[in-house]
């Protein structure tokens, strides 16, 4: 089998304690990719599994060298696993999916067909996700609905299902994105910073056969915190003074106004200010305002150091003619 040529498709699979699912997954995934008629590679990233996941992946790699295996030293999280896969992907199209068999590989051609219409990112939408029953209504459905609405509203990228890992990216987008923390679910929103075109297609969803879910209701807080970071990156990453400076100026103006009001009371009406909490509020607002402005200036210096030291552009070119 010739594996020296550059593949057209790269499939990135983060794997964490999925030993029972792995044989069934590859039994579906490889025939599906072969039926598409494009050369491909599969990059399975073992994210510090404590079961036999790596051994199962190593066996599959021995049988089929198109399956590449990356083993991380410990469990760094799904975002880090995706990042490791993106860094090693060589295909023109990079496809991501979970290894738990909840996203059928047979849906991959739907994503590719949508990409052929000219989209840079295609995200899966699990339309039948909630057919499992009422048991997950409060623990998963309501938090997921709220999270999808909040992410869409804050980022301006409206998707029904940010949590679906089945996505397809053009190579330029996958290489440009830098992932940290738990940012993998925000990749379409982060990619929108570069002016990419994003689409969503309905995909199937199956209940987990083996193992247990790695997510719970506790992830909602992490999503909210990461969402604040994404919002800042999308709007003010190259101009932080506009957010910190604005808040600082508002605080300074309010503190000054309260201070002038108290000064007028003191000198015009002889009112004692020693027991007035407003005096402390005015001092606090003015001090915090100055600190915010200084923070914005420092952030501007950090941003310029970041971009200039890495020769990183603040724009992204889609194509050039001539």
* pLDDT band per the 50, 70, 90 thresholds, residue 305: confident
Residues 6+ apart with CB under 8 A from 170: 92, 93, 94, 115, 120, 121, 196
pLDDT tens-digit profile of 68-90? 999 888 888 888 888 888 888 99
Out of 152-161, 206-215, 220-229, pick the least confident.
206-215
Number of neighbours of residue 213 by Cβ within 10 angstroms: 10
Mapped onto helix, strand or coil, the DSSP state of residue 307 is helix
Give the residue among 109, 1, 100, 5 at the shortest CA–CA distance from 53.
100
Find tokens 């992410």 and name the residue: 151
Give the residue among 187, 189, 297, 183 at the shortest CA–CA distance from 239.
297
pLDDT tens-digit profile of 36-71? 999 999 999 998 888 889 999 999 999 999 999 998
Q: Where are the domains of the chain?
A: 9-236, 241-308
Mapped onto helix, strand or coil, the DSSP state of residue 100 is coil
pLDDT at 307 over 50: yes
Q: What is the DSSP letter of 6?
A: P
CA atoms within a 13 Å half-sphere pointing along the CA-CB vector of 15? 31
CATH of domain 9-236: 3.90.550.10
CA–CA distance, 151 with 140 (Å, rounded to integer): 16
pLDDT, averaged across the chain: 83
Give the residue among 275, 297, 177, 298 at the shortest CA–CA distance from 230.
177
With left for phi above 0 and alpha for psi between -120 and 50, is residue 118 left, alpha or beta? Answer: left
pLDDT of residue 28: 93
Long-range contacts of 177-181 (CB under 8 A, 24+ apart): 177/86, 178/83, 179/79, 179/80, 179/82, 179/83, 179/86, 180/79, 181/79, 181/226, 181/229
Per DSSP, the residues of 187-217 read: HHHHHGGGT--EEEEEE------SS--S--T
The residue among 236 and 245 whose pLDDT is bigger is 245
Interior/surface letters 217-231, b for 16+ CB within 10 angstroms, e for the rest: eebeeebeebbebbb
Give the residue among 159, 73, 156 at the shortest CA–CA distance from 121.
159
pLDDT of residue 216: 52
Enter the pTM of the model.
0.74
pLDDT of residue 224: 74
* pLDDT band per the 50, 70, 90 thresholds, residue 212: low
Number of neighbours of residue 134 by Cβ within 10 angstroms: 8
Residues 6+ apart with CB under 8 A from 144: 163
pLDDT at 21 over 70: yes
Average pLDDT on 149-153 reads: 82
The residue among 103 and 309 whose pLDDT is bigger is 103
Name 123's bridge partners.
167, 200
Find tokens 């990228």 and name the residue: 157
- Rounded to a whole number of angstroms, the distance between the first and last alpha carbons of the chain is 40
């Amino acid at each position: 089998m010739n594996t020296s040529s550059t593949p057209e498709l790269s499939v990135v699979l983060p794997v964490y304690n999925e030993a029972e699912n792995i044989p069934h997954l590859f039994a579906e995934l490889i025939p599906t990719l072969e039926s598409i008629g494009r050369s491909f590679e599969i990059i399975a990233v073992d994210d510090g599994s404590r079961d036999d996941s790596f051994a199962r992946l190593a066996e599959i790699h021995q049988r089929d060298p198109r399956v590449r295996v990356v083993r991380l030293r410990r469990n760094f999280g799904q975002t880090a696993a995706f990042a490791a896969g993106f860094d090693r992907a060589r295909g023109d199209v990079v496809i991501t999916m979970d290894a738990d068999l909840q996203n059928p590989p047979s849906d991959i051609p739907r994503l590719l067909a949508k990409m052929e219409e000219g989209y840079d990112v295609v995200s899966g939408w699990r339309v039948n996700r909630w057919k499992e029953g009422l048991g997950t209504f409060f623990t998963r459905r309501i938090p997921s609905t709220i999270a999808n609405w909040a992410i869409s509203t804050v980022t301006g990228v409206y998707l029904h299902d940010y949590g679906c890992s089945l996505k397809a990216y053009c190579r330029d987008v996958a290489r440009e994105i830098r992932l940290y923390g738990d940012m993998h679910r925000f990749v379409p929103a982060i990619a929108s910073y570069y002016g990419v075109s994003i689409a969503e297609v309905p995909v199937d969803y199956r209940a987990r056969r083996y193992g247990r879910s790695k997510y719970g209701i506790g992830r909602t807080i992490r999503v909210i915190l990461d969402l604040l970071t994404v919002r800042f990156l999308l709007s003010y990453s190259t101009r932080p003074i506009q957010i910190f400076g604005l808040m600082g100026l508002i605080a300074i103006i309010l503190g000054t106004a309260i201070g002038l009001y108290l000064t007028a009371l003191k000198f015009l009406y002889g009112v004692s200010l020693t027991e007035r909490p407003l005096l402390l509020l005015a001092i606090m607002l003015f001090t915090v305002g100055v600190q915010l402005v200084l923070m914005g200036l420092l952030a501007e210096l950090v941003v310029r150091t970041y971009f200039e030291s890495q020769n990183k552009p603040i724009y992204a070119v889609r194509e050039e003619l001539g």
